[in-house]
Amino acid sequence: MREAPEDFAVDEQLGFEADGSGDHLWLSVRKRGANTDWVARQLARHYGVAPVDVGYAGLKDRDAVTTQVFTVHLPGRTDPQAPPPVIEGVEVLQTARHRRKLKRGALQGNRFRLRVRRIEGGQDAAERCLQRISDHGVPNYFGEQRFGSGGRNVERALAMFAGQRVDRQARSMLLSAARSQLFNQVLARRVREQSWNQGLDGEVWSLAGSRSWFGPEPWTGTLAARLAERDIHPSGPLWGRGELSTQACARALEIAALQDSRALCEGLERAGLEQDRRALRLLPRALSWAWADPETLELGFELPAGAYATVVLRELVDAQA
Specify the pLDDT at position 79: 64
Cα(183)–Cα(177) distance, integer angstroms:
10
The model's pLDDT over 147-189, given as tens digits with 9 standing for 90+, comes to: 988 889 999 999 999 999 999 889 999 999 999 999 999 999 9
Q: What is the mean pLDDT of residues 131-137?
A: 94
Mean pLDDT throughout 56-69?
92
Q: What is the pLDDT of residues 5-58, one digit of tens each?
A: 999 999 999 999 999 899 999 999 999 999 999 999 999 999 999 999 999 998
The answer to whether residue 67 scores a pLDDT higher than 90 is yes
- Secondary-structure class of domain 9-107 per CATH: alpha beta
Distance CA 61, CA 7 (A): 12
* pLDDT reported for residue 81: 56
Give residue 85's pLDDT. Answer: 86
Average pLDDT, integer, range 101-126 = 91
Instruction: Report DSSP letters for 201-238, one per residue.
Output: TT--EEETTSS-EE------HHHHHHHHTTSEEEEEEE
Rounded-to-10 torsion of CA 77, 83, 88, 90: 80
Beta bridge partners, 285, equal: 302
* Measured distance CA(252)–CA(9) in Å, rounded: 41
Q: Which residues contact 177 (CB under 8 A, 6 or more apart)?
A: 146, 147, 148, 153, 154, 156, 157
Average pLDDT over residues 186-200: 96
CATH 3.30.2340.10 segments of the chain: 138-282
What is residue 122's predicted lDDT score, i.e. its pLDDT? Answer: 84
Q: Any alpha helices (H) in 100-247, and if so which ranges?
A: 123-136, 153-161, 168-192, 221-228
- What percentage of residues in the chain have a pLDDT greater than 90? 78
CATH superfamily entry for domain 138-282: TruD, insertion domain (3.30.2340.10)
Looking at per-residue confidence, does 201 or 320 come out higher?
201
State residue 277 phi and psi, 5-degree precision.
-135, 160
Determine contact, residues 142/180, Cβ cutoff 8 Å.
Answer: yes
Confidence band for 145, pLDDT divided at 50, 70 and 90: confident
The pLDDT value recorded for residue 316 is 87
Q: Which of 37, 61, 124, 135 is flagged as catalytic? A: 61
pLDDT for 138 equals: 97
23 is catalytic: no
Instruction: Identify the pLDDT of residue 169.
Output: 84
**Is the pLDDT score of 321 beyond 50?**
no
pTM of the model: 0.89
Q: Which of 209, 218, 270, 261 is nearest to 237 (CA)?
A: 261
Q: Which part of the chain is CATH 3.30.2350.20?
A: 9-107
User: Does residue 61 carry a pLDDT above 70?
Assistant: yes
pLDDT in tens, 232-244: 999 999 999 999 9
Strand 8-13 to 65-73 pairing: parallel
